[in-house]
Chains A and B, each alone.
Chain A
Amino acid sequence: MNSHRVVVIGAGLAGCCAALEAAKRDFNVTLIDEHPQAPSSMSLDAPYFYGARLPATLSDAGAVADRVLGANALLLDCLDAGVEVLTNTCVWANLMPGPNLLYTDEKRLGLADGERSWFLPYDDLIIATGARDLVLSFPGWQLPGVLGAQAAGALLTRYQALGGTKAVVLGSGNVGLRLARQLLDAGIEVAAVVEVAASVRGDPALQAGLVAAGVAFHTSSVIDSAIGEQQVRAVRVCALDQQGLPVPGSEECIDCDTVCIAIGVVPNLELAAQSGCKATYDAARGGWVPETDDCGRSSLEHIYVVGEAAGVCDKGVLDSVQHLERARRAAVAIGTPQGAEWKPTTASAAAPLAADAPNEWLRALLAQGGLSVVLCQCEEVTRGEYIALEAPRYLQPSERRRAGPIDASNRASQDFVKRMTRCGMGHCQGRRCRDHAALLLAHANGQPVGSIVPGSFRAPVRPLPLSAIAGPDESEAVSRTWPIWFQPLNEGEMG
């Protein structure tokens, strides 16, 4: 094994495939995965929208580890191939020398488990952090039992701890249909698949199988609300007319204890973006994606992005072949200079907005639920407060004077609106509301969502307890020279 260290982040299909290929090429390979997660990190809704119902069985760390690792045969292949595997370990930052950070020439990752954090130097980095759900809200979405489809899929197949018996799936794309199949296979009843479009979006064969199993498809329908006190006990669904507007009086209740949001998938961009990789908006790849070439090379030398983290769309979720091929090519490309020829894959021509599932869902949910629905759970910001740039609720009502943008273009900047309203500034770090908020701004401004300047991503890309992120005792040199506001005792260590 040579000393060139390749770190792969994410032990899904693409990550494992890249790690295996890199190991075959005799690199010193480390594969990192944040699963199996502790319930305390799941409760912060990272990386998925797990929601507020986490079954008590998740606290049995030993049993959970057996299930999660046992469900990942490729990970075991990686171990056999000599890959160093770090599980239950998250990457919270990629710290690199670069503009305005010149004191070190070492590239390193900030890692943490539940207890502590440490740094891992690397030569090349392959980011395979997958995708998460695009979440849109409706009344009752805070109730235990409401969760994202990726979270439901992970809890179901890897953790074996979904904790429900009867589910409603929102969205009939492949993500929704695949999840419905998995639910049925796990013995969970699927009470309905709800879809705002007039017909099912996903794979006809999958659909046919579900219909045969007795799953009811409610097309031209939108969720009005999830109902329940301690947890979900039903959803209320409303029919849409040909214009996509709610039909008054058409509401019906469907009993269920679980609601899975399968409206869309978005690549997990945060680590690539925090690293400084250029990103571009490409609706056909799930929204904001890191710019990559066909070997997964990003705009930054030595950083590759592969798998669903490099782009995913509902149509493509059933097809992992191209992801595997790119992951392999990334491992092959390591060690070859990026050169001046690097050209990212160009964004596909934007699909017309009307054909875009998340936008159709947004319009239907807006028409039915209105502006008073909570958009940001952490900071309790409603849709209406967000687009009106209202001051946050912790201020006294007399202080919450509506002030609006300084410049008309402010409302096209998600960071600006975030600062005004605090939407996205809570403990989920915006994972539950960021995509909804961008769609909403685009809708309110009458502009394409790709022209909304997305909010920035900063370290830590996972919310970590202070005790985990706090470093070990600092060296005597750092203590001696730790400055207070430009007053170093002596020049010295950077810390």
Chain B
Amino acid sequence: MENYDVVVIGAGVLGLSAGYSIARQGARVLILDKGRVGYEASSRAMGFQSLRGENPPEIPLAAVANDLWHTLDEELGYPTEWTPSGRLWVALNDEELADFRRTAALWQSHQLPVRMIDAAEVRELVPALTDRVVGGLFTERGGHANPQRTTQAFGWACRDRGGIIRELTPALGIEVRQDRVVGVRTTAGIVGAKSVVICAGPQTPLLAKSIGIDVPLVAARLEACITAPVPPLFSTAMVANGLSVRQTGRGNILFCGGPHEWVDVDLTSEPAKPTSAIVQGEARRLLELLPNLKSVPLLRTWAGIVEVSPDHACILERAKAPEGLIIASASGHGIGLAPALGRVIGELALGAAPSIPVESLSLDRFASLSSDWASERRWVAGEYNT
């Protein structure tokens, strides 16, 4: 039987970042995926990096991630297209502006460098914006990257350091002996491991459940669109008019947002990711924001399946039992937090103390959560916008 120090389940950005940090320390690591590297949410994401002020337990991770991003290309040896041009939230009416003021106060209470800016300053950052802009919220910190290239960069860097990535090999369960993980059961047999990391995105609760651990995560389908390339218009990562918008390194305008639909997944198949009529609304909202784009062709739409926890924050758990099991989910913040999350997951998997405080992200915080929480909130397949 093959044996590894660590087997990571899930070759998304979290698993690959974790695998990279484990391989870099000289440990033997295998990363399994049911499909291909970075094929699901990791390559379908916006690629935003935030300071996570709206979710205080994630702030320390986000701060470390922001530092790591600045040198990530050199460290990994592959381009991520990191664009450290800050984060901008645009208000098109006074109600939004008032909302941003409350957000600013909250972020500032955590010493995060965010400030309100007036309409003129917003349009200096994004000159192509509609003149309906009334103001905005801005931070020079944070930015955006190419999620697909970032995920791939972690994959290549992990491979370069001896990590093994095995595609098209779904994990089916965790092997436990005397209260300690000993391996992972896959469609191609059992692989031995001293530690196992489950960071399989929406499949994470299914794998954890097989050894009696409840992980409160539910998956949703979100939709995104991209235009043909246009000359450089703006470089900041923008949230406006119900959309997240960025211009890619190639010049395409990438935008996503709007209604989500809750979905179920299984362990072995690629979930269906249909596009819906929402794309019409997304396109209209983008044009309301950037009216000069009206003759630019929309080239592609797609959907991604992303898992969300009850409080929208990451989950980072070193299980009390069985020993040697780590459970991780970024709850939709994977690309931005990946450099820091991967580092901490690696530390936990190798039995070290975490270098970033993550105690408040463990499963303990859900101790009082009702076992029917998902149906109570109507976060169940077929429901939407709940």
CA distance A492 to B253 in the complex (A): 28
Q: Which of B156, B300, B386 has the most CB of A within 10 A?
A: B300
A427-459 near B? 1/0 per residue, CB < 8 Å: 101000000000000000000000000000011
CA distance A413 to B270 in the complex (A): 15
A102 touches B261 (CB 8 A): yes
Contacts of B165 in A (CB 8 A): 406-407
Contacts of B152 in A (CB 8 A): 403, 406, 419-420
User: Known: A422-B250, A466-B227, A470-B284. Is A101-B221 also a contact (CB below 8 A)?
Assistant: yes
Q: Does A349 touch B at the CB level, under 8 Å?
A: no
- Residue in B79, B273, B297 whose beta carbon sits within 8 Å of that of A100 in the complex: B273
A463 touches B36 (CB 8 A): no
B214-225 near A? 1/0 per residue, CB < 8 Å: 000000110000
Chain B nearest CB: distance from A474 CB in Å?
Answer: 5
Q: Does B111 touch A at the CB level, under 8 Å?
A: no
Q: Does A399 touch B at the CB level, under 8 Å?
A: yes
Q: Does A42 touch B at the CB level, under 8 Å?
A: no
A232-289 CB contacts (< 8 Å) to partner B? 276
The residue in chain A whose Cβ has the minimal distance to the Cβ of B43 is: A419
The residue in chain B whose Cβ has the minimal distance to the Cβ of A119 is: B277
B265-322 CB contacts (< 8 Å) to partner A? 271-281, 283-287, 293-303, 305, 308, 312
User: Known: A102-B261, A406-B155, A459-B301. Is A484-B242 also a contact (CB below 8 A)?
Assistant: yes
Contacts of B257 in A (CB 8 A): 482-485
A406 touches B156 (CB 8 A): yes
User: Known: A98-B272, A100-B305, A495-B258. Is A465-B296 also a contact (CB below 8 A)?
Assistant: yes
A460 touches B301 (CB 8 A): yes
Q: Does A494 touch B at the CB level, under 8 Å?
A: yes
A396-431 near B? 1/0 per residue, CB < 8 Å: 100101010011011001001001101001110100
- State the total of A-B contacts with C-beta under 8 angstroms: 204
B236-268 near A? 1/0 per residue, CB < 8 Å: 000100101000011100000111110100000
Contacts of B275 in A (CB 8 A): 93, 95, 458-459
- Residue in B242, B285, B381, B385 whose beta carbon sits within 8 Å of that of A494 in the complex: B385
Q: Which of B148, B229, B242, B279 has the most CB of A within 10 A?
A: B279
A99 touches B167 (CB 8 A): no
A110 touches B280 (CB 8 A): yes
A457-485 CB contacts (< 8 Å) to partner B? 458-460, 463-467, 469-474, 478, 481-485
Contacts of A472 in B (CB 8 A): 284
B385 touches A470 (CB 8 A): no
Chain A nearest CB: distance from B23 CB in Å?
Answer: 13
CA distance A186 to B22 in the complex (A): 69
Contacts of A486 in B (CB 8 A): 220, 260, 308, 312, 332
Contacts of A427 in B (CB 8 A): 228, 297, 299
CA distance A207 to B255 in the complex (A): 53
The residue in chain B whose Cβ has the minimal distance to the Cβ of A102 is: B382
- Residue in A467, A485, A495 whose beta carbon sits within 8 Å of that of B332 in the complex: A485
Q: Does A392 touch B at the CB level, under 8 Å?
A: yes
B133-167 CB contacts (< 8 Å) to partner A? 148-149, 152, 155-156, 159, 165-167
A471 touches B249 (CB 8 A): no
Chain B nearest CB: distance from A52 CB in Å?
Answer: 16
A471 touches B284 (CB 8 A): yes
- Residue in A117, A484, A488 whose beta carbon sits within 8 Å of that of B280 in the complex: A117
The residue in chain A whose Cβ has the minimal distance to the Cβ of B294 is: A467
- Residue in A401, A458, A492 whose beta carbon sits within 8 Å of that of B78 in the complex: A401
Chain A nearest CB: distance from B147 CB in Å?
Answer: 11
Contacts of B149 in A (CB 8 A): 391
A492 touches B305 (CB 8 A): no
B337-386 CB contacts (< 8 Å) to partner A? 378, 381-386
Chain A nearest CB: distance from B280 CB in Å?
Answer: 3
CA distance A459 to B149 in the complex (A): 23
Q: Does B168 touch A at the CB level, under 8 Å?
A: yes
The residue in chain A whose Cβ has the minimal distance to the Cβ of B159 is: A406
The residue in chain A whose Cβ has the minimal distance to the Cβ of B77 is: A401
Contacts of A101 in B (CB 8 A): 221, 261, 272, 274, 276
Q: Does B323 touch A at the CB level, under 8 Å?
A: no
Q: Does B5 touch A at the CB level, under 8 Å?
A: no
Q: Which of A407, A463, A491 has the most CB of B within 10 A?
A: A407
A483 touches B287 (CB 8 A): no
Contacts of B378 in A (CB 8 A): 491
Contacts of A493 in B (CB 8 A): 259, 385
Contacts of B281 in A (CB 8 A): 471, 474, 478, 482, 495
A100 touches B263 (CB 8 A): yes
Contacts of A379 in B (CB 8 A): 250
A110 touches B272 (CB 8 A): no
The residue in chain B whose Cβ has the minimal distance to the Cβ of A473 is: B284
B297 touches A406 (CB 8 A): no
The residue in chain A whose Cβ has the minimal distance to the Cβ of B37 is: A406
Q: Does A340 touch B at the CB level, under 8 Å?
A: no
CA distance A401 to B153 in the complex (A): 11
Chain A nearest CB: distance from B314 CB in Å?
Answer: 14
B271 touches A491 (CB 8 A): no
Q: Does A44 touch B at the CB level, under 8 Å?
A: yes
CA distance A240 to B378 in the complex (A): 68
Contacts of A429 in B (CB 8 A): 299-300
B385 touches A484 (CB 8 A): no
The residue in chain A whose Cβ has the minimal distance to the Cβ of B80 is: A399
CA distance A276 to B275 in the complex (A): 11
CA distance A119 to B281 in the complex (A): 13
CA distance A95 to B223 in the complex (A): 14
User: Known: A93-B275, A419-B148, A491-B385. Is A483-B258 also a contact (CB below 8 A)?
Assistant: yes
A494 touches B384 (CB 8 A): yes
Contacts of B73 in A (CB 8 A): 399
- Residue in B159, B261, B273 whose beta carbon sits within 8 Å of that of A103 in the complex: B261
Contacts of A426 in B (CB 8 A): 228-229, 299
User: Known: A410-B36, A463-B299, A491-B386. Is A395-B167 also a contact (CB below 8 A)?
Assistant: no
Q: Which of B43, B166, B244, B294 has the most CB of A within 10 A?
A: B294
CA distance A108 to B277 in the complex (A): 9
CA distance A472 to B298 in the complex (A): 17
Could you show 25 A-B contacts with beta carbons less than 8 Å apart?
Answer: A98-B274, A99-B272, A100-B303, A101-B276, A103-B384, A117-B280, A379-B250, A394-B249, A394-B250, A395-B249, A396-B79, A406-B155, A406-B156, A409-B167, A409-B168, A427-B297, A464-B298, A469-B280, A471-B277, A483-B258, A486-B332, A488-B385, A494-B276, A494-B278, A495-B276
Smallest CB-CB A-B distances: 7 pairs: A471-B280, A467-B294, A470-B284, A99-B272, A463-B297, A399-B79, A470-B283
**9 additional contacts (CB under 8 A) given A100-B221, A458-B302, A466-B294:** A95-B275, A95-B277, A100-B305, A103-B384, A395-B249, A466-B296, A474-B284, A483-B242, A484-B239
